[in-house]
């Protein structure tokens, strides 16, 4: 199984809503990542979890709150987002953060209204 | 930190032609150079990669070349097909996936 599964696939939320994005992998990978991708742009790294601990936060606003409940799951909690936060949010995983082979999930298309 | 430049931003070719996309990187410590293909609305998918101890790598119609001295690497697609149409991203890293820096992307359009 080389799948990284993200839910939901699409999400529309208001600026006062609280929602969560979920990411799951069963490859035994110990590094998991959140990326944000705007249209026609490359993915931008947001967070890295290594062995369930946050190892990198790329100066992401606090309205994005990551959580890694266990080695297979990664969540991204969203609160008080702005319309400019609308983007494709991609999760990825790799065996560990030093390895180069990684797998992306299909992404969650987020629209903030 | 690392900076990756990618050219061209768009590339249109006829089916059967070859396509070449070029990237330059700034940090000589970078040692891993992957290429990702992203179809509209889908995830980036790794199509080929090369490490700094290799000058060229080929996989069927796709090849990547690396010039460490000049700090540039290129993706070559031969006998292009309409299904090759996508956005292609190059990337560079000195330390695993966590340090991957992406190029700005090239939109490739292959016309039948």
Residue B99: DSSP 8-state: G
Quick one: tokens of B98?
């966590």
pLDDT at position B89:
98
Neighbours of A59 (CB within 10 A): 5
Q: Do B89 and A97 touch (CB under 8 A)?
A: no
The predicted-structure confidence for A27-42, as pLDDT tens digits, reads as follows: 999 999 999 999 989 9
Residue to mutate among A43, A55, A108, A111, with most B CBs inside 10 A, is: A43
- Inter-residue contact B43 to A104 (CB < 8 Å): yes
Q: Which residue is listed with tokens 């980036």? A: B44
CB within 8 Å: B97 and A101: yes
- Find the CB nearest B104 among A42, A48, A92: A42
The string of pLDDT tens digits covering residues A52-93 is 999 999 999 999 999 999 999 999 999 999 999 999 999 999
Q: Which residues contact A15 (CB under 8 A, 6 or more apart)?
A: A80, A81, A82, A83, A112, A113
Tell me whether residues A100 and B98 touch, CB distance under 8 A: no
- How confident is the model over B15-65, as pLDDT tens digits? 999 999 999 999 999 999 999 999 998 999 999 999 988 899 999 999 999
Residue of A nearest to B36 (CA): A42
The partner residues of A80 in beta bridges, in order of sequence, read: none
């Amino acid at each position: 199984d080389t799948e990284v599964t993200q839910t939901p696939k699409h999400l529309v939320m208001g600026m006062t809503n609280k929602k969560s994005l979920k990411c799951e992998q069963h490859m035994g990978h110990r590094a998991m990542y959140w990326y944000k991708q705007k249209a026609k742009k490359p993915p931008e790294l947001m967070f890295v979890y290594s062995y369930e601990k946050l190892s990198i936060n790329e100066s992401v606003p606090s309205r994005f709150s990551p959580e890694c409940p266990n080695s297979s799951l990664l969540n991204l909690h969203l609160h008080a987002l702005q319309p400019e936060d609308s983007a494709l949010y991609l999760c990825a995983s790799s065996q560990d953060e030093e390895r180069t082979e990684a797998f992306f999930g299909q992404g969650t298309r987020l629209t903030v209204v | 930190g690392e900076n990756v430049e990618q050219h061209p931003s768009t590339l249109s070719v006829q089916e059967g032609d070859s396509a070449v996309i070029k990237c330059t990187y700034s940090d000589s410590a970078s040692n891993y150079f992957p290429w990702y293909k992203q179809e509209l609305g889908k995830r980036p998918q790794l199509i080929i990669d090369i490490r700094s101890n290799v000058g060229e790598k080929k996989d069927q119609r796709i090849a990547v070349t690396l010039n460490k001295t000049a700090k540039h690497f290129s993706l070559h697609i031969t006998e292009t097909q309409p299904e090759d149409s996508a956005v292609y991203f190059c990337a560079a890293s000195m330390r695993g996936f966590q340090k991957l820096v992406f190029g700005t992307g090239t939109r490739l359009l292959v016309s039948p």
